[in-house]
Structure 1
Amino acid sequence: MLDTSPAAGGSDAASELVVDLRAVKQNYLSLQQRLGKSECAAAVKADAYGTGADKVAPALFEAGCRTFFVATVDEAIALRKILPSARIAVLNGLLPGTEQVIPEHDLIPVINDLEQVSRIREMCVAAGRALPAMLHIDTGMNRLGLSPDEMDRVAEDPDLLTGPDWLYAISHLASGDDPGNPENAAQLARFADQRRRLKRPLRASLANSAGIFLGLDYHLDLARPGFALYGGRVEDGKPSPMEPVVRLRARILQVRTVLAGDSIGYGGTYKVTKDARIATVAVGYADGYLRCLSGKGAAYIGDQRFPVVGRVSMDMLAVDVSHADPTEVYPGGYIELLGAHYTVNDAADDAGTIGYEILTALGHRYTRRYIEAASGES
């Protein structure tokens, strides 16, 4: 368990984001165990979902992960410097102008349309070898991937795919976090049908984090979890089976007594009904703590919950600590805003969004601390 005492870590930071690398590795190992013989890759796009790819990706590699997915070429190049021997796939595909850097950095483009197919074939001719690539087939997201019409053309002329070393055919579930949605089975069936039309056996990847929990049929050869690695839920509205990874704590700047009838913060949106003690905390929306958590978020000292009151401002928010032990609430002390008690999933529910947004919004004003030992050692 992470130490939640105000003095934990001994930092002089105004706010601190703690990332538990042990929990990241344990989440990966749990997913790999569930997948059995299928390979478990890792999505580390968006700076490992806001947790810091420079620290998280090596931890995942240490846990056994060898295939990583990012969104952009820039992310891939940065990751290559950290993981020289990993397989790194670029989900956004082979965009014009990236023809040189893809082979230079030994990257794997995820090919999303026939124009990109043509470009990777030309690159293979220029390189004099079969460059690695993955073929993305759209099965219902209508976002990226070869369309049904493009797959018809491939079925009619299989030579369109000659040249590259196709590592996987991939697709993406649109509703994996809703296991009762019939679209999941429909996408699985479409994917199988389209793969059969390729006239060549390709290993396959469909499951994201949620897809891993849909069952063996969805595991195929490779799964690509992201959110679950960072403690995210895998089924909408259900508790997460994964270990929490991040803890956000911030300094109390001031504690004051507010009299009954007084309002707090911008717009006076919250008025106390009786005398209260209010702690002003050094975190705001400029730090990635969403403004829509105004009057909805929660904070913890130890196991005791306290409500966020009034509007979240740029650099500060207010917490009603009327029922706290005065010896535990003081200027300079820490209060926890995200953690095991109030997870990114809980914050997402209160904000009316998804945990992905909570995680990726976490800014870089926080002092970041990475821990691995269960005792909380750095």
Structure 2
Amino acid sequence: MTRPSRALIDIQALRRNYRLARELHGGRALAVLKANAYGHGAVACARALGSAADGFAVAFLDEAIQLRQAGIEGPILVLEGCFTQAELVEAHANNCWVAVHQEEQLRALEQAPSQIRGIHAWLKFDSGMRRAGFPLALANTAAQRLQSCEAVSRMTLMTHFARADERDSQATARQIAAFDTATAGISAERSLANSAGLLAWPAARRDWARPGILLYGADPLPGSPSALSPVMTLESEVFAVRELQAGDALGYGAHYVAAVPRRVGLVAIGYADGYPRTVPQGTPVMVGAHRTQIIGRVSMDMLTIDLTDVPSEGVGSKVELWGKNIPVNDVASAVGTIGYELLCHVQRVPRIYEDAIAAA
């Protein structure tokens, strides 16, 4: 029997989320596919969005080359830029757009060999994240140097937000204002909004948006009303049922001890598949049409759920760990992390694409 664990990927939901992002933004949007499309499968997601997407973005060059080798032809922005001169040559050969966020990358373009021409460079500024990006005080100087590069034919200015998911913080408003002031005299397109910026900060909507997590239906603003559609459903099945008596301990470390008789379902999925080992007792799951909970510790290959109050469910019952009924953000919150991390950690289980276009 084939192990029943799998990640169902709803391609129609992915397309709806992209359309929503683009309509809300009012300008073009790069679909961010880094980290294997946040665990959803970068090639399949790129194929599914196809020419409907204005372009794509990845973290580093190898991710871009994987897409090119799979036949993806649209624009691809490499968000971390090139690490070496050799990578710049390879990026050019693969028709990639490149971010430029530090002196070494700018110098590499200034010193680029003569065969490198027509690069679309995204000049990144640090407006308050204090991570990657040129200081805003150098905005005009950096832009002039980049525009003078014979290798560069087009420039876009960009920045990244540190706290866009905090609606009640003014940090994002300050970043927008600082970026606008520093770049006011520079003629170029602009890109400010990540997922949370796009949803929560209308002033950040410019020429290009960079939606990432929202494409996959995990709201970057947990607790807010959302029109996003979950794309991944992580599911498995009950493959055995055990009866516990009062006082019986369950699983490693006797982490759970039954206070009263309990009916327990063993589910064929564990932390090696990407479900977090550290979820506490009571973390919700769906079994069939019923909401129940995790009991005991999550093991490498299986976990246990409470079937005491759902006598109609048993061996063969479907179990949703997260998806349309159990938001991934709820599971993430239970373990003190974010939905991004859980989605990116999904591994070993097959991804089943519910759309013929992406299944190839």
Tell me the TM-score normalised to structure 1 length: 0.88
Of 202-211 and 285-294, deviating more is 285-294
Q: CA deviation at 1:329?
A: 1.0
Of 72-81 and 162-171, deviating more is 162-171
Q: CA deviation at 1:239?
A: 4.8
8 Å contact from structure 1 (residues 296, 350) kept in 2: no
Q: CA deviation at 1:278?
A: 0.5
Aligned with 2:44: secondary structure? Answer: helix
Residue deviations 1:128-187, cap 9 Å, x none? 6332211111111111111245437538xx345412123310101111111221011100
1:106 is aligned to 95
8 Å contact from structure 1 (residues 291, 311) kept in 2: yes
How far apart are the structure 2 equivalents of 1:51 and 1:77? 18
Residue deviations 1:48-82, cap 9 Å, x none? 000011111111225x1021110011001001223
Question: Please, which of 212, 231, 237 is the counterpart of residue 198 of structure 2?
Answer: 212
Counting aligned pairs with the same residue, the percent is 34
Of 278-287 and 209-218, deviating more is 209-218
Question: Please, which of 3, 22, 46 is the counterpart of residue 13 of structure 1?
Answer: 3
How far apart are the structure 2 equivalents of 1:70 and 1:148? 24
For structure 1, the residue ranges without an aligned partner over 5 or more in a row are: 1-10
1:350 is aligned to 334
Say yes or no: does 1:235 pair with 2:225.
Answer: no
2:320 is aligned to 336
With over 3 angstroms needed to count, the CA separation of the structure-2 counterparts of 1:299 and 1:117, relative to structure 1, is same
With over 3 angstroms needed to count, the CA separation of the structure-2 counterparts of 1:50 and 1:84, relative to structure 1, is closer
Question: Please, which of 170, 173, 176 is the counterpart of residue 182 of structure 1?
Answer: 170
8 Å contact from structure 2 (residues 247, 258) kept in 1: yes
Question: Please, which of 65, 69, 79 is the counterpart of residue 91 of structure 1?
Answer: 79
Say yes or no: does 1:165 pair with 2:153.
Answer: yes
Please list every run of at least 4 consecutive aligned residues from structure 1 whose deviation after the TM superposition is greater than 3 angstroms: 148-155
2:310 is aligned to 324
2:257 is aligned to 271
Amino acid aligned to 1:105: N
8 Å contact from structure 1 (residues 205, 220) kept in 2: yes
Amino acid aligned to 2:89: Q
Q: CA deviation at 1:263?
A: 1.1
Say yes or no: does 1:224 pair with 2:171.
Answer: no
Residue deviations 1:69-121, cap 9 Å, x none? 10011001001223442110111112113122111111111001122111012
For structure 2, the residue ranges without an aligned partner over 5 or more in a row are: none
Aligned with 2:340: secondary structure? Answer: helix
Of 167-176 and 237-246, deviating more is 237-246
8 Å contact from structure 1 (residues 13, 367) kept in 2: no
Say yes or no: does 1:77 pair with 2:65.
Answer: yes
8 Å contact from structure 2 (residues 240, 314) kept in 1: no
Tell me the TM-score normalised to structure 2 length: 0.93
Question: Please, which of 25, 29, 34 is the counterpart of residue 40 of structure 1?
Answer: 29
Superposed CA RMSD in Å reads 2.1
Aligned with 2:278: secondary structure? Answer: helix
